[in-house]
Chain A
Amino acid sequence: MAYSQKVVEHYETPRNVGSFDKGDETVGTGMVGAPACGDVMKLQIKVDPRTGVIEDARFKTYGCGSAIASSSLVTEWVKGKTLDEAASLKNSQIAEELALPPVKIHCSILAEDAIKAAVADYKKKHAA
């Protein structure tokens, strides 16, 4: 199976690799997947508390090239978006952008789950 050029490009030079402090009030963390399934994504967002806009994002992924590319792409996309905009991101957009084959669609679903989980985590921190 050959990889699309965009997947290879994200895999070779992943964007926004790293971690924020989970305890930071301005950070939302989403960790999805399971090692037993061969994919774990950790996606973090840093939010400007005054505007509710995501100003930065980080990820770390254990998984195949398409999983790495999907999460790398999402960190790029969510920067500058509001929480609601980020949470409405659809996996089909990721799959289309990266030209993922059918067997790799689950990677894009996982990336969608990850950003939703990160947004939910941030909202939970600020719910009280």
Chain B
Amino acid sequence: MDMTPHFPIYMDYGATTPVDPRVVDAMIPWLREHFGNPASRSHAWGWEAEEAVEKARQQVADLINADPREIVWTSGATESDNLAIKGAAHFYKTRGKHLITVKTEHKAVLDTMRELERQGFEVTYMDVREDGLLDLDALKAAIRPDTILISVMYVNNEIGVVQDIPTIGALCREKGIIFHVDAAQATGKVEIDVKKTPIDLMSLASHKTYGPKGIGALYVCRKPRVRIEPQMHGGGHERGMRSGTLPTHQIVGMGEAFRLAKLEMGKDAEKVHALQTRLLEGLKDVEQVFINGSMEPGKRVPHNLNISFNFVEGESLIMGIKGVAVSSGSACTSASLEPSYVLRALGRSDELAHSSLRMTIGRFTTEEEIDYAVKAIRETVARLRELSPLWEMYQDGVDISTIQWTAH
């Protein structure tokens, strides 16, 4: 029996997921015959589009147990992060000018915070522990009387760790601080219930949960009521919080994707957990491998495995495992030439950050694909170590950290 998987093997679900075929099917009619503008009130094209948009709003709300009136459509999680953080900071600026976030956040949060600093706000960037999780005592200590907003991501995009959102939320409520959560990587992976968990603003993405790109949402809590200043001005769509004609087909796609996520979350989690275990079992006995981020049950989503193969540079490793699409924290795979700031925030050395591989799996990953990836990675690591002067030094007992390297 031919068990050779189809090429290439996609193991980069953290970058984007494939769009579920059921989602594609749901979207098509809204591109073809049902092309109306949901804001058109004077004819049936508009009415049916509006109905489709509201149905999707309900589907998105259902996944996080929110009221549909708490869902604001955006172009994606980056826009949601911008709208939430800038919107709340601008609205509540008379209350204070201090914001808190975490060093391992997505750039959409970090860069938005940098912009607010330029506007005169003050931002504290929290360190994380070695396992990637926020130290809650340190967070408490960082809160000032003029702190107006705290932003913490639910699931980290690089290392998959799950922050203790319920506890941080409770802390924020108690102190009267607006709490924003970037949940782009969390939907369909961890159970989110805004009725139980105090969250004021939450960024949602479609394309990390088997929906299309170019659409996202911001959850804006109604009880207690949270206010934001719009960042996009125009026709006053989305109750004035975000103007712009609604892309019906995209919204329908996100709605269907989130409906499926709610329906199949248990099944997906079970399957992905088994695959992650298989992947880990296949790689853990390789010499000098380090798992980045907590592996404690409940502290990491099973969809993510981030491993550093010491003495092997990440990009050359990716080049060697042809046919398997993964990503790396190595500088060489990014435009900046800096290794992953997330791994560095864990206290990982630059060389371990350069040697990291992020494998993210999901709904359509198979056991055969995992087995192929394990074999390809093991072979390539062994081959590249034969080529590595650092591996040679390690084998000879030389401590690489004691050598005076010349930076270039």
CB distance from B63 to the nearest CB of A (A): 36
CB distance from B304 to the nearest CB of A (A): 22
Judged by DSSP, the binding face of A is mixed
- Tell which of B337, B388, B408 touches A62, judged by Cβ atoms closer than 8 Å: B388
Within 8 A of B (CB), among A113-128: 113
Closest CB in chain A relative to B405 CB, distance in Å: 3
B407 touches A32 (CB 8 A): no
Cβ-defined contact, B388 with A36, below 8 A: no
Given known A-B contacts A17-B386, A61-B387, A38 and B408 have beta carbons under 8 A apart: no
Chain B nearest CB: distance from A6 CB in Å?
14
Please tell me if A80 contacts chain B, counting CB pairs below 8 Å: no
Known: A3-B319, A11-B319, A65-B316. A60 touches B405 (CB 8 A): no
Q: Nearest-CB distance from B336 to chain A (Å)? A: 10
Minimum Cβ distance to chain A for residue B250 (Å): 29
Contact B339 A38 (CB under 8 A): yes
* A44-98, CB < 8 A from B: 60-65, 67-68
| 1/0 contact string of B308-336 vs chain A (CB within 8 Å) | 00011101100110000000001110010
Residue contact A37 to B407, C-beta cutoff 8 Å: yes
A38-B332 contact given A19-B392, A33-B405, A33-B408, CB 8 Å threshold: yes
Chain B residue at smallest Cβ distance from A113: B408
Structural contact, A64 and B407, CB atoms closer than 8 A = no
Complex: A41 Cα to B316 Cα, angstroms: 14
Known interface pairs A35-B354, A35-B390, A60-B392; A65-B407 also in contact (CB < 8 Å): no
0/1 string, B279-315, CB within 8 A of A gives 1: 0000000000000000000000000000000011101
A68 near B316 with CB under 8 A, answer: yes
Interface: B389 (CB within 8 A)? yes
Give Cα A53 to B311, complex, Å: 33
Q: Is B229 an interface residue (CB 8 A)?
A: no
Which positions 316-367 of chain B face chain A at CB distance < 8 Å?
A: 316, 319-320, 330-332, 335, 337, 339, 349-351, 354
How many angstroms between the C-alpha atoms of A109 and B407 in the bound complex? Answer: 13
Given known contacts A61-B389, A64-B330, A36 and B316 CB-to-CB distance under 8 angstroms: no
Q: Which A residues lie within 8 Å of B332 (CB)? A: 38, 63-64
A40 surroundings in chain B (CB, below 8 A): 389-390, 405
CA distance A8 to B318 in the complex (A): 12
Chain A residues, Cβ within 8 Å of B354: 35-36, 38
**How many contacts between A and B, using CB within 8 angstroms?**
90
Interface size for A (C-beta < 8 A) is 31
| Chain B residues whose CB sits within 8 angstroms of the CB of A103 once the complex forms | 335, 337
Cα–Cα distance between A37 and B339 once the two chains are bound (Å): 8
For residue A28, CB closer than 8 A to chain B, the reply is: no
Cα–Cα distance between A35 and B350 once the two chains are bound (Å): 7
B387 touches A68 (CB 8 A): yes
- Interface status of B94 (Cβ within 8 A of chain A): no
B339: chain A residues within 8 A (beta carbon): 38
- In the assembled complex, the Cα of A73 lies from the Cα of B386 at a distance in Å of 18
Q: Which residues of B contact A14 (CB under 8 A)?
A: 387
Q: Give chain A nearest CB distance to B351 CB in angstroms.
A: 4
Contacts of B331 in A (CB 8 A): 37-38
The answer, among A11, A37, A60, A106, for a CB contact under 8 Å with B389, is A60
A113 to B337, CA, bound (A): 19
The residues of B that contact A35 with a CB separation of less than 8 Å are: 349-351, 354, 390, 400, 405
Q: How far is the CA of A103 from the CA of B333 in the complex (A)?
A: 10
Contact at A62–B406, with CB atoms within 8 Å? no
A32 to B389, CA, bound (A): 11
**Closest residue of B by beta carbon distance from A11:** B319
Whole-angstrom CA separation of A38 from B102 in the bound complex: 26
A36-B405, A38-B331, A38-B339 as given contacts; A11 in contact with B316, CB under 8 Å: yes
Question: Shortest 10 CB-CB distances between A and B: which pairs?
Answer: A34-B405, A36-B350, A35-B351, A42-B389, A64-B315, A60-B389, A38-B354, A64-B332, A65-B319, A62-B388
The 15 listed contacts between A and B (C-beta, < 8 Å) are: A32-B406, A33-B408, A34-B408, A38-B313, A38-B315, A38-B330, A38-B331, A40-B390, A42-B389, A61-B388, A61-B389, A62-B388, A64-B315, A67-B316, A68-B387
Could you tell me which B residues sit within 8 Å of A by CB distance? 311-313, 315-316, 319-320, 330-332, 335, 337, 339, 349-351, 354, 386-392, 400, 405-408
- Taking Cβ atoms with an 8 Å cutoff, the residues of A that contact B are 3, 8, 11, 14, 17, 19, 31-42, 60-65, 67-68, 103, 106, 109-110, 113
